[in-house]
Every structure is written in structure tokens, then in C-alpha cells.
Amino acid sequence: MTAKSILVVEDEAMIGMMLEDFLDALGYRLHGIAGTLEEGCDLARSEAFDAAVLDCNLRGEKSWPIAEILAERDIPFVFATGGSADDVPSAFADRMTLAKPFTMGSVERVLEKLLENPA
């Protein structure tokens, strides 16, 4: 069975590298890391992957436009959030969130739920 491919949208390089390590250890394949809203939108529009982890706040810009593209394409995603300042819009209130700081266990649980039960 081919490893599931995960897009990571994260503006902090260290967190992106940590997620890459977690995905590798958990048997997933990193599709790519986008560090900006523009990169995330481009990848979300044009690429094929199984799921995505979206940091809510990308250098001061919210990742909601990426979430809208993924929702339109029926690609499951989870929001990564550093706190209550990242108020998810009501349109996405039913989406799972992954609280920072991550643990490998929390990433594993959320991706298992996301991929077994896509939105």
C-alpha cells in the first residue's frame, strides 16, 4: 500500500521539519511544505495529495483561503493552531484542530481520524 501523502502548510521552518519527521516516523509521505498563503493556495489548487495540515496563521495571514480550496476539492484537512487567537471561521467550525505544540501521538491520532473519515 502506498503511503498517504500529506501537504503541510506551516510558516515556521522548525515546526515544518518536526512535522516532516513525525510524518516519516508514522509512515506518511510529505507531499510538500508551503510557507506562505500564496504557496499554500497554489499547491492546494494544483496538486494531488491525500490530506493537509494547515497552520492557521501564516506570517500574519490566515490560511482560510487554502481551507476553502481544499474543501471545494474534497481533500481532508486539519487546522494547526497555536491558541485561541486563531478563531476558525464558522464555515470551518466542524473541522478538527491540532493544538501546538504537537506531539507525535497527537499528529498520529488526528491524521488517522482525518483519513479514515474524510470530511
Q: Which amino acid, residue 11?
A: D
CA distance 53 to 9: 6
pLDDT of the residue at 107: 97
Q: Report residue 52 as a C-alpha cell.
A: 493537509
Q: Quick one: pLDDT at residue 55?
A: 95
pLDDT value at residue 85: 55
User: Grid cell 493537509 — which residue?
Assistant: 52
pLDDT score at 50? 97
Cis ω before 118 (30° cut-off from 0): no
The answer to whether the CB of 115 falls within 8 A of the CB of 51 is yes
**pLDDT tens-digit profile, the chain (119 residues):** 689 999 999 999 999 999 999 999 999 999 999 999 999 999 999 989 999 999 999 999 999 999 999 999 999 999 998 876 568 899 998 999 999 898 999 999 999 999 985 44
- State the pLDDT at residue 82: 82
Kind plus residue range of the DSSP H or E element containing 106: helix 104-116
Residue for grid cell 507525535: 104
How far is CA 42 from each of CA 7, 30, 36, rounded to the nearest angstrom? 12, 17, 10
Q: What domains are there in the chain, each with its CATH number?
A: 5-116 (3.40.50.2300)
Show the cell assigned to 67: 481551507
Measure the CA–CA gap between 77 and 97, rounded to whole angstroms: 9
